[in-house]
Each structure stands twice: as structure tokens, then as C-alpha cells.
């Protein structure tokens, strides 16, 4: 028996995604002269394909199909991320020098979304074979043992952060990798060494990319007064950025949309900031759009549903006996959690905007389908969890 609460939570968010893709895309539809149901139909196709894929995967025998599906995701989309850099412009259109999507007729595929799921499988598959029986490794032994995974991650960083200019996805993958290291017994010394190295690497990727530096400065304008006001040191005040930097209007309008929603919201379809003030609000800023139209209550329900999904995934992981299933389920839960945190922090101005989609909610076929594939594999695993006569997890 699959985990029905997990399936129900995912379906609630996918249904809300369809509703909001119609409600929030009104300005984009008018601006580009699309039909009224342009985004709704495209999202409906993605949700339908994702749902069918999720159901098919959930019915498969994990002992027979789980590893095959996971390895296919990892190998195929790792190769695609490499090959897409050399494909012609008719298949891969560079936007700002970044090649992120492969165009196949009316469809576009973002390989990185599927690679994330495959990467988590690769880690779970390999970790369960190599490390769970090892204990008390020294620091240099840990470094030597984990170096192949760090090498694979470094290649992924180059492909995603450098060629695709998508630092947010790297942050999600890196955070997931670090936490999984802890789950297989790495020492805290090794963990904090990697964390320090990752922090330095992210600073480097920001410093040597002008568009990221501009985004950091734009974000800093919105938070510098509140931060610097509690730091009385004279030298710290030199960090203040003057108004010559471009105003972070996306963050400001996002905060205004959230504030305008109040507790109960303006009502479905009655949002004002989707009318050209927040560009592409049905994608990365969908939480701000939901909050304006459905209020704090709507945002709370979305957050609780996300937490329910993560909780059910972790509960499945805690009860399943196979270490590969255990680590994969944890990894999927972490991907969802980190993506939701980075997006919600970005639209509220706590951190710079990363361009991360909200799991199961944001408009976009690739992330919807990839998320459904991940949940389908977890549902496949959930059949191995011991249950009582009433279907509850024991």
C-alpha cells in the first residue's frame, strides 16, 4: 500500500498550482497576446503527465525497478547537461549566456530538475554500498573516501553554476549533499570543513559574476538599514550601499503584495501586484501572489501542506529497512525543504532571490514532472514500509 497522505498532500499543491497559474498569469497573457487559458493548459498538461508518471512509478516493484529508474535519471540527465552546451541554437536557446532548456517543439526541458533527483539516487545507491558499514574514519580517510562524490559535485557545479548561471540549484544540491554526509556518519569536523569550503566557493562564484554581485547589492539595499542599525561599529557603516545601485523593485513589490494580502487576502483573482508590478509572478514569486489573493491563511495552508509532505517522506525513510531507500527518501525530503526555504526567504527579502521554483506550485513543466518522479519513487518505496491492518505505518 502506498502512502496516501503523501499522495494527497502532493495533489493538493498540484491542484492549487493549476488554479494560480490561471489567476496570476493574467498580465503576461495580455502583454504577449496569449489566449486566456495559455498557461493553465500548459500547466494542466504538465500536471497530468506528472500525475500519471507518479502513479505508474508508485505501482512498480521497488526491488526490481527502483535502481533502474534512479540510474537512468542520473546518467541520462548528467549527459544531457553536458551535451546541451554544444547543441545548436535551434534546440538550446542561450538566455543571458546561460543554456538551461532544451527545446523540443512546443516543449522545453530543464535537465537540471531531473538531474537533482538522479543525483540524490546516486548518492543513496553508492553510500548504502560503501559507507554504512564503516565506522570511526579519520579526517583524511573521510576526505579520501568522499572525494569521488565531491568530484562529481564539482562537475555539477561547473555545469549548473558556471554554464547555466544557476547558483540556486547548486545551493540546494550542496546543502542536500552535506546533510546526507551526516546521515552516513561523517564527523562534525569534516562537515564543518566542507561547509566552510562551500561558503568560500559560493562567495567566489558571486564575486566573479557581475550579475550575481548586482543582485547581492540590490538585496543589501533592502536590509542594510535594519542590520547596520544594530551594529554601532564605525567600520561596519562603510558597508552601506548608496542609492546609485538599481532599486530592488521585485523584492519591494513582493513584500507589498504579501502585506496587501492581509490575513484573508484580496480574493482569488483580485490581486493587484500581478498586473505588471511582479514579473512572472506565477513562477518564482507564486508565494507572494498566493499571499496577496488568499492571505496569510492561504500561505499558512500551503506551508502546512509542504510540511506534511516532508514529514511523510521522513516518516517513510525512518521505517523502511533498506538503507538505499532510506537515504533516497531523506534526500528527496531535503530537496523539497531547501527549495521551499530558499524561495520563501528570497521573496520576503531575507536572502537574495535565487530563482528556485516552489515545489509542486510554480509554473513550469520540468520541475513539476521531476518533482512527481521523485514522489513516485518515494511512493514506490513506501510499499516496503510495515503497516497495520488499518493501513497506518507501524
Residue 158's domain comprises 4-382
Is residue 119, in this structure, part of any structural domain at all?
yes
212-221, 258-267, 273-282, 327-336: lowest mean pLDDT where?
212-221
pLDDT at 234 over 80: no
Is residue 327, in this structure, part of any structural domain at all?
yes
Q: Looking at residue 164, what is its pLDDT?
A: 81
Q: Contact 124/324 with Cβ under 8 angstroms?
A: yes
Confidence of residue 245 (pLDDT cuts 50, 70, 90): very low
How far is Cα 330 from Cα 246, in angstroms, rounded to an integer?
40
pTM for the model stands at: 0.89
Is residue 394, in this structure, part of any structural domain at all?
no
- Taking the alpha carbons of 112, 115, 117, 120 in that order, is the dihedral positive or negative? negative
58-62, 74-78, 144-148, 342-346: lowest mean pLDDT where?
144-148
Q: Is 288 exposed, middle or buried (0-12, 13-18, 19+ CB in 10 A)?
A: buried
**Residues 6 or more apart in contact with residue 165 via CB below 8 angstroms:** 96, 97, 98, 209, 211
Q: What is the 3-state secondary structure (H, E, C) of the chain?
A: CCCHHHHHHHHHHHHHHHHHHHHCCHHHHHHCCCCCCHHHHHHHHHHHHHHHHHHHHHHCCHHHHHHHHHHHHHHHHHHHHHHHHHCCCCCCCCECCECCCEEECCEEECHHHHHHHHHHHHHHHHHHHHCCCCCCCCHHHHHHHHHHHHHHHHHHHHHHHHHCCCHHHHHHHHHHHHHHHHHCCCCHHHHHHHHHHHHHHHHHHHHCCHHHHHHHHHHHHHHHHHHHCCCCCCHHHHHCCCCCCCCCHHHHHHHHHHHHHCCCCCCCCCCCCCCCCCCCCCCCCHHHHHHHHHHHHHHHHHHHHHHHHHHHHHHHHHHCCCHHHHHHHHHHHHHHHHHHHHHHHHHCCCCCCCCCCCCCCCCCHHHHHHHHHHHHHHHHHHCCCCECCCCCEC
Confidence of residue 394 (pLDDT cuts 50, 70, 90): low
Is residue 393, in this structure, part of any structural domain at all?
no
**Grid coordinates representing 207?**
564575486
Number of structural domains found in the chain? 1
**Residues 6 or more apart in contact with residue 331 via CB below 8 angstroms:** 120, 121, 123, 124, 176, 180
Question: Which span out of 145-149, 175-179, 220-224, 302-306 was modeled with the highest average pLDDT?
Answer: 302-306
Q: Looking at residue 220, what is its pLDDT?
A: 66
What rounded mean pLDDT belongs to the chain?
Answer: 85
Is residue 94, in this structure, part of any structural domain at all?
yes
Distance of CA 341 to the CA centre of its chain: 9
Q: Residues 282-341: pLDDT tens digits?
A: 888 999 999 999 999 999 999 999 999 999 999 999 999 899 999 999 999 999 999 999
Is residue 190, in this structure, part of any structural domain at all?
yes
Q: Looking at residue 69, what is its pLDDT?
A: 95
How far is Cα 372 from Cα 374, in angstroms, rounded to an integer?
5
Question: Which span out of 150-164, 261-275, 330-344 was modeled with the highest average pLDDT?
Answer: 330-344
Amino acid at each position: 500500500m502506498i502512502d496516501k497522505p503523501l499522495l494527497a498532500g502532493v495533489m493538493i499543491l498540484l491542484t492549487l498550482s493549476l488554479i494560480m497559474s490561471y489567476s496570476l498569469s493574467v498580465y503576461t497573457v495580455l502583454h504577449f497576446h496569449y489566449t486566456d487559458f495559455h498557461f493553465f493548459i500548459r500547466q494542466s498538461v504538465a500536471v497530468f503527465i506528472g500525475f500519471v508518471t507518479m502513479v505508474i512509478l508508485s505501482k512498480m516493484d521497488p526491488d526490481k525497478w527502483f535502481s533502474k529508474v534512479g540510474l537512468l535519471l542520473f546518467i541520462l540527465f548528467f549527459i544531457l547537461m553536458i551535451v546541451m552546451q554544444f547543441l545548436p541554437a535551434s534546440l538550446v536557446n542561450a538566455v543571458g549566456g546561460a543554456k538551461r532548456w532544451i527545446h523540443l517543439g512546443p516543449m522545453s526541458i530543464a535537465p537540471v530538475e531531473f538531474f537533482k533527483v538522479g543525483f540524490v539516487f546516486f548518492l543513496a545507491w553508492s553510500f548504502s554500498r560503501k559507507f554504512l558499514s564503516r565506522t570511526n574514519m579519520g579526517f583524511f580517510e573521510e576526505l579520501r573516501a568522499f572525494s569521488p562524490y565531491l568530484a562529481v559535485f564539482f562537475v555539477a557545479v561547473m555545469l549548473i553554476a558556471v554554464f547555466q548561471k544557476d547558483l540556486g540549484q547548486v545551493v540546494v544540491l550542496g546543502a542536500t549533499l552535506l546533510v546526507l554526509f551526516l546521515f552516513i556518519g561523517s564527523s562534525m569536523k569534516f562537515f564543518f570543513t566542507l561547509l566552510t569550503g562551500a561558503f568560500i566557493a559560493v562567495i567566489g562564484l558571486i564575486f566573479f559574476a557581475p550579475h550575481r554581485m548586482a543582485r547581492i547589492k540590490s538585496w543589501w539595499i533592502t536590509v542594510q538599514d535594519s542590520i547596520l542599525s544594530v551594529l554601532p561599529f564605525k567600520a561596519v557603516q562603510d558597508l552601506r550601499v548608496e542609492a546609485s545601485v538599481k532599486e530592488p523593485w521585485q523584492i519591494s513589490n513582493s513584500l507589498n503584495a504579501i502585506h496587501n494580502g492581509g490575513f484573508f487576502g484580496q480574493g482569488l483573482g483580485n490581486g493587484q501586484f500581478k498586473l505588471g508590478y511582479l514579473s512572472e509572478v506565477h513562477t518564482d514569486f507564486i508565494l507572494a501572489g498566493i499571499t496577496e489573493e488568499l492571505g496569510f491563511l492561504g500561505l499558512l495552508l500551503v506551508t502546512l501542506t509542504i510540511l506534511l509532505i516532508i514529514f511523510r517522506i521522513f516518516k517513510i525513510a525512518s521505517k523502511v529497512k533498506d538503507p538505499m531507500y532510506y537515504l533516497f527518501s531523506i534526500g528527496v525530503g531535503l530537496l523539497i525543504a531547501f527549495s521551499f526555504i530558499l524561495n520563501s526567504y528570497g521573496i520576503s527579502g531575507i536572502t537574495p532571490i535565487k530563482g528556485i521554483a516552489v515545489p509542486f506550485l510554480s509554473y513550469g513543466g520540468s520541475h513539476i514532472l521531476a518533482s512527481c518522479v521523485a514522489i513516485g519513487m518515494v511512493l514506490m518505496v513506501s510499499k516496503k514500509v510495515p503497516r497495520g491492518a488499518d493501513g497506518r505505518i507501524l
